[in-house]
Every structure is written in structure tokens, then in C-alpha cells.
Amino acid sequence: MTVLELDGVDAGYGDVQVLDSLSMALDTDEIICLIGPNGAGKSTVLKTVFGLLEPWAGSVRFRGEEIGGLAPETIVREGIGYVPQTENVFGSLTIEENLRMGGVARDDDLESVIDGLYDRFPVLDEKRRAKAATLSGGQRQLLAFARALMMEPEVLLIDEPSAGLAPNTADDVFADVRAVNEGGTAILMVEQNAHKGLDISDRGYVLDQGTVAYDGDADALLDNPEVSRLYLGG
């Protein structure tokens, strides 16, 4: 079942158009990987879904309802989380304080949600009183995911989770992305490491100049000679 759908979306900055009649859909249990060259508009897609940009045209639907143009604080309450590429945790706060920050928009008791996350991600439990700045890059990324999960989103938008990480650490982060998905959260992920990103994904979209150049099952994209030549570095 489709949980998130973009239909003919145009969007941009000032009077510069970036997204050009972009359409894509995410199912409730999927991981989708969005790849494409620098400047293709990948981050702009996530920002438009999360309400940081207002679509100029077209429709963004979450569970069948139009959300295009709603404010991020509304969208986060509706059930969409966003993990930006950088500065996605507060280094001077502890793990636990970061998690509490992630839950500030909740009206109910945070303790059971935090405990649930500690059960799922024991490394965070062990370090709950440590400052986020003391975590490794991979652990920090996991904390950023967990922080977004405090709102128990149905959809998580993740921008380049492996950026700047060593290959082994990136593998850990991709395993964490899968773990988040297996907990019942659909994921729309942007990834510059297209091979590894597609490897853990169900489907992929190749974005070029603000529009979808290719899409399909992740395995099929990895095997597609043109996609490989144009976007996967041979």
C-alpha cells in the first residue's frame, strides 16, 4: 500500500526551479533509495516532502491526504520524520537528552518510547549519559535515526546517511537503516553511495535534473547497463 506519493511536483528556491514534474511513490514497508548526480535535486525532494519547501505545482500525499505546503511541525506530527545530512544531533547534549528533544512534539509520556528505543538499540542504552559528541560517526547516525523515531513516524526521510563515514562504518549505518525499516517504518533515503544504498533497498529512483530518469526494483537498477554507466560509475 502506498503511504507517500509525489505527483507532478515542481519545486525550487526563489525563482530557480529544481524539481520538474517529479513523481514517485513509497509503500508502507519499503526502503527506497534515491540516487543521482550532485545537484540533481535529491535533498530538495526530501525538503519538499517535509514542508521545508512549498511545492510550486503538483501534489504530495501522505496516507492519501495532501500535505504539500504544510509546515514541518505539522508534518512531523502527522507521522513523517526527517534526518538531515549534517547537524542531525546535538553534540553537547547526552544521548538521552537528544532522544527527549526528538520527542518534544509528543503530548504523552516519553519514557516508554525511550525505553523501547534502548531495547532496540543497545549501544544507545549503554551510552545514554554520554554526550553525543563522544559517539563514533556511525553511532551518531544511529542516534539521529532514533531521535527521529521518538515521534514513531510511519515514514522516515534520510539524507545521505553514509556521507563522510569509512566503508565499514557505512555498512553498520546501512544495517541500522534496515533495522529501522524492520521495525515498521517506511524509508525514503538519499544516498551518494549508490551501490550500497540500492543493495539494502527494495526499489530505487534515479533523479537527474529534477526529474526521474530511471526507476524500478533496486536489483534491476544495479543490473541496468545504462544506469550503471551513467550513474554508478561503470
- Give me the residues that bind Mg ion (CB under 5 A), please: 42-43
Residue with nearest beta carbon to Mg ion:
43
- Side-chain-side CA neighbours of 12 within 13 Å: the count stands at 15
DSSP assignment of the chain, as one string? -EEEEEEEEEEEETTEEEEEEEEEEEETT-EEEEE-STTSSHHHHHHHHTTSS--SEEEEEETTEE-TT--HHHHHHHTEEEE-SSS-S-TTSBHHHHHHHHTTT--S-SHHHHHHHHHH-HHHHHTTTSBGGGS-HHHHHHHHHHHHHTT--SEEEEE-TTTT--HHHHHHHHHHHHHHHHTT-EEEEE-S-HHHHHHT-SEEEEEETTEEEEEEEHHHHHH-HHHHHHHS--
Nearer of residues 48 and 139 to ligand ATP, judged by Cβ: 48
Q: Which three cell numbers stand for residue 206?
A: 534515479
CB of 54 to ligand ATP, least distance (A): 13
CB of 87 to ligand ATP, least distance (A): 15
Bridge partners (DSSP) listed for residue 57? 10
Nearer of residues 42 and 203 to Mg ion, judged by Cβ: 42
Nearer of residues 42 and 147 to ligand ATP, judged by Cβ: 42
Contacted by 55, from ligand ATP, Mg ion, none: CB < 5 to 8 Å by type:
none
Residues of this chain that bind ligand ATP (CB under 6 A):
13, 16, 18, 36, 38-44, 192
CB of 20 to Mg ion, least distance (A): 17
Contacted by 113, from Mg ion, ligand ATP, none: CB < 5 to 8 Å by type:
none
Nearer of residues 41 and 102 to ligand ATP, judged by Cβ: 41
Nearer of residues 103 and 161 to Mg ion, judged by Cβ: 161
Nearer of residues 81 and 210 to ligand ATP, judged by Cβ: 210
CB of 132 to ligand ATP, least distance (A): 23
Contacted by 38, from Mg ion, ligand ATP, none: CB < 5 to 8 Å by type:
ligand ATP
CB of 16 to ligand ATP, least distance (A): 6
